[in-house]
Structure 1
Amino acid sequence: MDQHISRQFNADLEELKTQLLEMGGLVEQQTINAVKAITTPDSDLAERVLVTEEEVDARELKLDENCTLVLARRQPAASDLRMVLSVARITRDLERMGDEAHKVAKMAIHLNEHGEAPRGYVELRHIGTIVHQMVISALDAFARFDVDLAISVAQEDKKVDQEYKSAMRELATYMMEDPRSISRVLNIIWALRALERIGDHAANIAEHVIYLVKGLDVRHQSLQEMERQVKEQ
């Protein structure tokens, strides 16, 4: 009986992991499509991002329910408890990433209807490429329990922050030089902000992976402090 319960518990944990990675795959595709929709531009693709958001939300609710059931039925401890808690936390970050992709898609539709912005598309493609890879790496780090890969995601987040600040300076300067462009360039700025937030959530997932594998809560720590703690563990 004990062996049967143990096998079922392991199956429950594997199912949580599988469902999370499936949700992650949807959000990853949302990110790709949102960037392509605004840089192409492609309103039909943007509409697909909006529709996918409904499925992402539904998956979040289902995963929340399943995590609660596992906690209630199995009362996990140690690493098993960390797995359930990490899945719950990562689920929230994935849902918020979907929300940000939704914002980019809305900006894509607005620009397609009212005219393209004169600047900012190069920055969107560049930051979008980095953020997309961060999403892939964060999910891969979770799937493989790979702390080194998780740290590399946190490192990339710093790069995204720098690229975002640089883009903001350039676009602000352009709007001052050409006030007629302000409304359209602001749509690009909001889209860039959404992409930067997706990078932040990918970095959050990386922190959850470190907690899952090492039992270290590295939230709200500097990158250097995070690396030091992991190395000393």
Structure 2
Amino acid sequence: MTSQFLGFKPEALQLLEALTENQNRVWFAEHREEYEQYVREPMKAFTEALSEALAKRDIPLWGDPKKSLYRINRDARFSNAKHPYNMHASGLFTRTGDKHSSGVLYFRLDPLGSRVAAGYLQPESHVLKKLRLGIVNHPQAWLAIEKTLKKKGYALDYSHSLARIPRGIEDIPSEVESAVKLKGWIVRKQLPRSSICSKALLKEVASFASDLLPLLSFGWHALEAAP
């Protein structure tokens, strides 16, 4: 069965925009029904429809409306920002369908700038080391991926990088040294409001996932390689 999803309504972004200015529980309680109607339920429908679209392209990523979406309530215990609600809606698509699998497709509905992203963001230390070893052991394959991404107009985020060669990694080919120093490997694409509210949103996000599949697959192979 194909899930029907025709894009988010403008009210979704309008409500999230209003939430940024009304970070209090009384206001949210008064607007919870609108949140469910314009944000939460459409996010669930988007998750199901995109999972089907990805499956049709043989992309091994999917999302579960119950496990893949982030809650609107924030855990502010360890944050300096104490506002109680997230001012965006987001979710992850992974090989397992939950948020605890390496190699993800991320979608964010945000009045300040919606976007989609894919790759390996802030991986755990043991995952990070295997990804780096994958690049060191297969430098030409890695360079081919970066070249292909560049041709399609994408660029890895190099803003979070180590100043020195990471410990435990030796004999790094000079041409991939900067990639090995990265703390994560992620590509982002901004989504204008015209895309968010369009029935073409599914195709645009699925096409992005298809373009980024080589990067994700490279990481999966690295993680599954023998130690």
Same fold flag (TM > 0.5) = no
Q: What is the TM-score normalised by the length of structure 1?
A: 0.29
Higher strand share: 2
Higher helix share: 1
